[in-house]
Amino acid sequence: MNTNTVSAPSPIGRKAATSQQPMWERDINHVRREDLEQSIAGAGAPEPIASITQVSAHGVPAWLYQPAQPGDGVLVWFHGGGWMLGEPACHDALARAVANGAGYSVLSVDYRRAPEHRYPVATDDAWTATVWAAEHFPQIAVGGDSSGGNLAAAVALRARDHALPLALQLLIYPVLDAEPNAAYREEFAQRHEDPADPDALGIDWRNNMRYIWHEYVPDPAQRLIPDASPMHAPSLAGLAPALLITAGRDILRAESEEYARRLTADDVPARVLNYPRANHGFFHLLAATPDARDAVTLSATALRNAFAGSLEKS
């Protein structure tokens, strides 16, 4: 496992995150509208791109971004938002930046969301869109942030089991494990929950995670199957190489680090990039922090190098 720490000038939105009314006490449609507005504002003006086409990927809506003279590969991208929030419009600036920076297409998938559509609907939509992409492009990579990272990791497992080759898993602070008392997570929390510590987590992550998993997978027995919690796959051997990007002030950093250790142990190339002063959700906020721009640039480079056959050049 190759782990790098990337310096960051400032944290993002920590005070807002700690003072906001809990999501489970608010109307989901209002939260979705607010999330869209904040995402667009935080991303800033999107850069020009050669084309954006709304497509039906075997019935799953998606936005296909193509730069000028694109290469023959595509990144199938799954947005975050606890499986309940987010849509391609939230990540429009991000998809443009990755497509332009890498020189390859990006397929941003509009999978169905909870609580209207619970597990395994989002995962099935993600897989269906990936199969469609494989029918239209010679090279495929998958990626996503937070819950979208969960979908990307689950799709990578399905791809291995269906002999569908992937060039890369781009996992941005992914949700990988529904187990609330995992030892690695508790150890991380103990080190980062001190209120006197300026780098403390600063959020009620336990209640947040309980709520999100309850809404996405109501049946506790289903939460720990690998398709829902990729961390619980018996083996990760044979998976695509992985780049994991983490935020230092994020409980999900713990599972990314553990997953990278497991990937490496199973002989899968895995690289971790940590932004130590960043909070969860920074990746697509290109106008809000230099960390986001840096992480997106590194991701585009990793994608380009993966399609060229080398993650280690990233």
Read off the pLDDT band of 163 (50, 70, 90).
very high
Percent with pLDDT over 90 in the chain? 77
Question: How far lies 163's CA from each of 134, 159, 306, in Å?
Answer: 12, 6, 18
The one catalytic residue among 124, 227, 250, 291: 250
Average pLDDT taken over every residue of the chain: 89
User: What's the pLDDT at 13?
Assistant: 31
167: three-class secondary structure by DSSP:
coil
CATH topology of domain 2-307: Rossmann fold (3.40.50)
Q: Which of the residues 108, 146, 147, 256 is marked catalytic? A: 146
**Known active-site residue 197:** no
Q: Are 271 and 311 a contacting pair, CB within 8 Å?
A: yes
- List of residues 6+ apart from 56 with CB closer than 8 A: 62
CA distance 12 to 268: 32
DSSP state of 91: G
Q: Which of 280, 284, 299, 314 is catalytic?
A: 280
Instruction: Mention every residue, 6+ apart, whose C-beta is less than 8 A from residue 247.
Output: 173, 253, 274, 275, 278, 279, 280, 281, 282
pLDDT in tens, 239-282: 999 999 999 888 899 899 999 999 999 999 999 999 998 999 99
- The per-residue pLDDT for range 288-300, each reduced to its tens digit, is 999 999 999 999 9
Q: 74 has which bridge partners?
A: 105, 140
